[in-house]
């Protein structure tokens, strides 16, 4: 699950592919290579199938296995890499800011550096507040088969341009609270240090 349109609601991406390469011999209606599926979270526990809004490369049947989500070009929109059985991997660039429904949406990315806790902050809980908006996440080591995610935690903020508070509960038990943070920045937070390092990267779009 990741917020591919940065509206504050985490969406669901499913990579498919049957485990048996000869499954059509036993079930002709079932295919070995299958289509990926993207479900858009529209809030109130409702997901809608947004697969057909994606390009042909996304919809082309593959024998998907691993899925790694991360912002490889540092533009604040999470991309993803799919490893396919017996085929080349596929890297999908998320140009979400160009989609009408996502235009003007903001984000915040957080990288944790533990001191008393483990170096990557695995197991830390994060709570973000922006006006009446609340979002929660946890730092985890892995998410999919033989895949490592971007170690940064991404929060879609919708139209909120600032974050009121970011609370981090570290595995050591220490709690850091950062206040009045700007949107659309990458933050590095060291455990026990109330001053976060904020950076924004220059964008280089493909020709």
- What percent of the chain lies above the pLDDT cut of 90? 85
Q: In the structure, what pLDDT confidence band is assigned to residue 143 with cuts at 50, 70 and 90? A: confident
Helix (H) or strand (E) holding 23: helix 23-26
What pLDDT is attached to residue 142? 78
How confident is the model over 18-44, as pLDDT tens digits?
999 999 999 999 999 999 999 999 999
Q: Would you say how long the chain is, in residues?
A: 207
Residue 33's contacts (CB-CB under 8 Å, 6 or more residues apart) are 17, 61, 62, 63
Token look-up 């879609």 returns 156
Tokens representing 165 are 């508070």
- Using an 8 Å Cβ cutoff, are 15 and 67 in contact? yes
Distance CA 32, CA 36 (A): 13
Tokens representing 59 are 């919809």
- Using an 8 Å Cβ cutoff, are 119 and 139 in contact? no
Residue 143's contacts (CB-CB under 8 Å, 6 or more residues apart) are 67, 68, 69, 149
What pLDDT is attached to residue 204? 64
How confident is the model over 78-114, as pLDDT tens digits?
999 999 999 999 999 998 766 777 889 999 999 999 9
């Amino acid at each position: 699950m990741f917020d591919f349109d940065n509206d504050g609601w985490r969406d669901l991406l499913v990579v498919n592919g049957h485990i048996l390469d000869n499954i059509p011999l036993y079930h002709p209606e079932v295919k070995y290579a299958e289509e990926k599926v993207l479900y858009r979270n529209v809030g109130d526990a409702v997901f809608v199938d947004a697969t057909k809004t994606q390009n042909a490369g996304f919809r082309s049947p593959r024998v998907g296995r691993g899925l790694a989500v991360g912002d490889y070009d540092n533009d604040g929109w999470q991309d993803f890499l799919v490893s396919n059985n017996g085929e080349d991997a596929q890297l999908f660039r998320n140009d979400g800011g160009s989609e009408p429904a996502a235009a003007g949406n903001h984000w915040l990315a957080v990288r944790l550096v533990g001191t008393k806790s483990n170096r990557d902050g695995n197991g830390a809980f994060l709570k973000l507040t922006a006006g009446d908006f609340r979002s929660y996440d946890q730092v985890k080591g892995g998410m999919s088969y033989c895949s490592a995610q971007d170690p940064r935690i991404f929060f879609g903020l919708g139209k909120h341009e600032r974050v009121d508070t970011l609370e981090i509960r570290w595995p050591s038990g220490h709690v850091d609270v950062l206040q009045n943070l700007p949107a659309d920045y990458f933050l590095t937070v060291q455990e026990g240090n109330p001053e976060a390092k904020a950076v924004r990267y220059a964008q280089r779009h493909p020709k």
